[in-house]
Amino acid sequence: MKYLPFAVWASLLVVAGCNMETEIGEPYEQPGADTEPFITFSTVLLDNGFVGVPSYVTFGADSADMKVTFGAQTIDFAALSSVRLYGYGFDEDAASDTVFRFSEVSDTRGIHGTRIGYSQFKSNSSEVGEADFHIMAKDINGDIYLTETSSQERWQADPEPYLQPEPKRLFKAQIEVGESWVSQASFFPWFYDANLGWKGTLVADDAVAPTSGEENCVLLKFQKENVAYYMYLKDGIGIVEILWNWENENNLVKPILGYSYKLDGGSGYGPEYTGFGYGDSGDTYDASLTAKTYAQGYTVLPGEAPDYADWPTNESDYTVYRVALADASSGVSFGTVTLLYDEQNNAFITDTTELTLADAYQPIFTVISDGETFFANSSFGDLAFDLTTPMNNQYGYSILAVNGTLVKQTDTSVTKAFTAEISMFYQRVVSSGDEAIISYQANVNNELPSAVKGAEHRFDFEAINLAVYDTLPTKVYYGTSPDSVEQLLKEGASCYNADADGDCISGFRSAFVTLPDVTGDIYIQFEVSYEADSEGAYPAATVRSPVYSMSLLASAEASEPVAQFITNFPQDIRGSRDPDTGEFLVYLDATKSYSLNGSILRYDFDFGDGTVVEDKRSLGTYTYTDDGEYTISLTVTDSNGASASYSQPVCVSDYGSFILQNQGQPETFSIQIGEYDETDETYYSIYYNSIYIGKGEVQEIELEANKAYIAIVEYTDSDLEENRSVDYFSLEGCQDHYFVPDNSAVDD
């Protein structure tokens, strides 16, 4: 979401209406023995959407128990009270108060959490603006994530939520005073930046709020490029104050614009002054040194001598990770990282003085900033690492948080702060290639869904980065101990993607087996192998998957299967075809379909354009080549012969709609729409009209998708006063963007 000057932002959100109490998500239910959720975030898409891996962010039964430790204080987000913050320092036209409401709900996925609803009110009135709802929940590591958002205008009885497609971490479980982290969204206002994120810092854990005088507050600072603000929190109260802008007085922050739950009782002074607030942070700030970034590279296991770039043998007892950092928005590389990881103790090794380790594997963090190289290693700099997802998992995907200082390569006395959240995708480097085997049905703990002993079962797995795909001898092994998985359960597997000659062109395989006739835990491994080619391009190789555990039950109660799939779209499957290829690509993952008393054996897809794919793989892609409205339907059939279906609509178009909604008295509106250039904040007009719109009526204007716009709406009210509302927005294909001008006050 693009940020706007605050006066504009406030004027856009403050529209007249009444108080809205609609819950977003089902009412919260305390989980019991039969209702404990264990939910993993949807698939993260890598390599342009063709490789999907679980995000590893998982929520358990206690996900609504959200306590975060800030220094010596603990804030229980699930127990915060509703509060009205009174605005001060604003122009009269933009003056507004903000109301926060906290309630426990379950989001659309079934994740239990806290819903934060907030609305803006015109000061000294009951006129309410758009209500925004955000649901956040605690993952199994104790970190707090944003899971779902929605906005509700007054006329919307049941607003459609936006499910976050990938994890957006807001807070670490424990943060020390002075520590910084990357927050995927600032807590207030709810501004998102999936590419860069915000830098959050715990300034103090015993602060006194400057306007209200409230003592023993947690003081946070959020910063992004030239935007910064302070937030005071207190357990039991919630948000006490927000400092939006300030000035320097005796080297202290003196608030001049913000919000507070009490407008008197304080000293009028905040923390030590380091720079101005919103619009001019004042601090020396380098976006490349505070960012959500991506990294791709390789791992080298102990004892390996990879045939890649002449890398030497890893003579240590630790795994080496070598990845290149890339800017999340541009993809431009700006650094390299070498990490040494102790698998047994789940720790990074930084002191290598007692190790026999080649220079290529020495731990180092290198970042290029403003043309200068900054780094940290065992001798220089000071970095702390925090894993939000496991390292060395079977998917080769982890999220690593880093915070600390780097030193300048040409002058180590010069330091720079570095705070980053790194999404790392890494593969093994061995002489035969960079192979890996993925089981999409396993959870974060390498556990496969339970099944009934002796039943028919389907295993879906994928061999990635292999030299060949057409002839892959495949075997499935099992055992009763994780240290001995050697009993052959199945030889051979089905391939669902073939070329015109019938050769398999994918590493995806499905193995149909009869499960062992035993109860209790068994352990599963998948194996693929191929022979060396005649030209010597690649040697023979045999690759095994990690060991997966699986519980076999004596029996299970009869129940219907559940069909479901996720896509690369967080909510609606909509958009425009690629201008270069003319294609609209949809990634589908149906592996989370399940049967409690059987196994899903068959997946049938109907894509609504005449294409029906029967009895095929459970995940893959589909391409639409024509604009139109379609429906993707999935039907699954389990080992008991029972079936279930699930569907989602699809809309493909190069156009979206701007919809002006009049909730006030009948008016003649002058509507001007221009294509907006965010770089220099200019626009050129593409639409102008004067239209009479009755109360409760709308005017729909079709616009080209994938562009930024500004809409300027003017009207003369009953007092003959000229009024003007401005809306900045962008459109996706098939998207309806609603806007309500400021005349929407009604007498209810």
Q: What is the pLDDT of residues 320-330, one digit of tens each?
A: 888 888 776 56
Compute the distance between CA of residue 366 and CA of residue 249 in angstroms, rounded to an integer: 38
pLDDT, average across residues 88-101: 75
Tell me the pTM: 0.68
**Section 207-226 average pLDDT:** 90
Q: What is the pLDDT of residues 158-205, one digit of tens each?
A: 556 666 766 688 899 999 999 988 887 776 656 655 556 788 899 999
Instruction: State the Cα–Cα distance between residues 368 and 98, nearest whole angstrom.
Output: 41
Tell me which residue of 230, 213, 188, 330 sits closest to 266, measured CA to CA.
213
Cross-strand bridge partners of residue 631:
649
Phi and psi at residue 288, to the nearest 5°: -70, -15
pLDDT score of 358: 85
Tens digit of pLDDT for each residue in 648-665? Answer: 999 999 999 999 888 777
pLDDT at 22 over 60: no
Least confident of 3-7, 34-38, 301-305: 3-7
Measure the CA–CA gap between 176 and 386, rounded to whole angstroms.
13
CB atoms within 10 A of CB 345: 9
pLDDT at 152 over 80: no
The pLDDT, as a whole number, for residue 745 is 43
The per-residue pLDDT of the chain, averaged, comes to 79
Count Cβ atoms below 10 Å from residue 580 Cβ, excluding itself: 6
Mean pLDDT across the stretch 717-733? 82
Percentage of the chain with pLDDT > 90?
24
Q: Which has the higher per-residue pLDDT, 575 or 126?
A: 575
Helix extents (H) in 39-104: none
Per-residue tokens: 716: 């003369």
- At 395, is the pLDDT very low, low, confident or very high (cuts 50, 70, 90)? low
Q: How wide is the angle at C-alpha 171 spanned by C-alphas 729 and 22, nearest 5°?
A: 55
**What pLDDT sits at residue 60?**
83
Of 209-218, 219-228, 336-345, highest mean pLDDT: 209-218
Give the pLDDT mean for 374-387. 86
Distance of CA 19 to the CA centre of its chain: 30
C-alpha Rg value of the chain to the nearest Å: 28
Q: Which of 2-6, 70-74, 642-646, 696-700 shows the lowest mean pLDDT across its residues?
A: 2-6
The amino acid that residue 682 corresponds to is: T
Beta strand ranges found along 607-739 (DSSP E): 612-613, 619-624, 628-638, 643-652, 655-661, 667-677, 682-693, 698-704, 707-716, 722-731, 736-739
- SS3 of 44, please? strand
Q: Regarding predicted confidence, which is higher, 118 or 629?
A: 629
Q: If pLDDT is split at 50, 70 and 90, which confidence band does 331 have?
A: low
C-beta contacts of 34-40 below 8 A and 24+ residues apart: 36/60, 36/61, 37/61, 37/63, 37/110, 37/111, 37/112, 38/443, 39/109, 39/110, 39/111, 40/443, 40/444
Over residues 397-409, mean pLDDT? 85
Cα–Cα distance measured from residue 618 to residue 528, given in angstroms and rounded to the nearest whole number: 19
Q: Tell me, what's the pLDDT at 40?
A: 63
Over the stretch 43-60, which tens digit does the pLDDT of each residue have? 565 544 445 566 678 888
CA distance 219 to 240: 10
Q: In the structure, what pLDDT confidence band is assigned to residue 605 with cuts at 50, 70 and 90? A: very high
Q: Examine the pLDDT at 715 and tell me if it is beyond 60.
A: yes
Burial zone of 716 (CB within 10 Å; 0-12 exposed, 13-18 middle, 19+ buried): middle
473 pLDDT higher than 60? yes
Q: Residue 96 above 60 pLDDT?
A: yes
Q: With a cut of 60, say whether residue 566 has pLDDT above it.
A: yes
Cβ contact 496:502 at 8 Å = no
| Percentage of the chain modeled with pLDDT above 70 | 77
Phi, then psi, of 11 in degrees rounded to 5: -65, -30
Give the pLDDT score at 216: 95
* DSSP-assigned letter for residue 109: T
Average pLDDT, stretch 452-474? 77
Q: Which amino acid is at 438?
A: I
Q: How far from 97 is each of 16, 108, 261, 263, 267, CA to CA, in Å?
A: 13, 30, 10, 12, 21
Contact criterion met (CB below 8 Å) for 591 and 441: yes
pLDDT of residue 4 exceeding 50, the answer is: no
